[in-house]
Chains A and B, each alone.
Chain A
Amino acid sequence: EDQVTQSPEALRLQEGESSSLNCSYTVSGLRGLFWYRQDPGKGPEFLFTLYSAGEEKEKERLKATLTKKESFLHITAPKPEDSATYLCAVQAGAGSYQLTFGKGTKLSVIP
């Protein structure tokens, strides 16, 4: 069974204090790993897809990386507007169509 574990569950940062969120996964044949951002009362917003170990993607202050066992979402010099819950999801290969989500990391950036 596919499993996704995100850590930490919650993270408080001062504005400008860089950090990383972790997503470790167990899946039979990874087809893709997805990062989403979810604001309170809203649907998840797509950020990145990573397909193979060593791949990196960047968007503004966010950078996602992938290894064979985990993915990191690095946040550089965060701002209060980066506060949200960040969700990681995996999609297995071999005819499995669904995403398996982790429970998320709730990020709070304090001014």
Chain B
Amino acid sequence: DTAVSQTPKYLVTQMGNDKSIKCEQNLGHDTMYWYKQDSKKFLKIMFSYNNKELIINETVPNRFSPKSPDKAHLNLHINSLELGDSAVYFCASSPRIYYEQYFGPGTRLTVT
């Protein structure tokens, strides 16, 4: 059973389009996260929700908007995609805020 799953795994799209990435966890965790891993493999936090409440909102363009319909899901919507948005996006979850995080397999976004 997949603990943290993301769809799609690959996403190729053109500049200016709007796209969404979905994340689901079946671990019963309270906290979920979105990370961006750039071409240099550096992993950086973008957002975090705890019990559906936004608790981390790093300095990212407001074209990126997270949505958490329930504790098990955290989606990422990106408007007006730009070339610089190309990266691998990881979803993660943790039992509570300060606990270890479990990552999904990643979504490789390529903007052409």
- Chain A positions near chain B (C-beta within 8 angstroms): 31-32, 34, 36, 41-46, 49, 85, 87, 91, 97-101, 103-104
Contact = CB atoms under 8 A, between A and B. Distances in A.
A52 B16 CA distance: 47
A20 B90 CA distance: 28
Interface size class of B (residues with CB under 8 A): 20 to 34
- Say whether chain A's binding surface is mostly helix, strand, loop, or mixed: strand
Contacts, number: 49
B45 A99 contact: yes
Nearest to B47: A98
B64 interface: no
A43 B100 contact: no
Given A44-B103, A98-B33, 15 more contacts: A32-B98, A34-B100, A34-B101, A36-B103, A41-B106, A42-B105, A43-B104, A46-B100, A49-B100, A91-B98, A97-B55, A97-B97, A98-B58, A101-B42, A104-B41
A97 B99 CA distance: 10
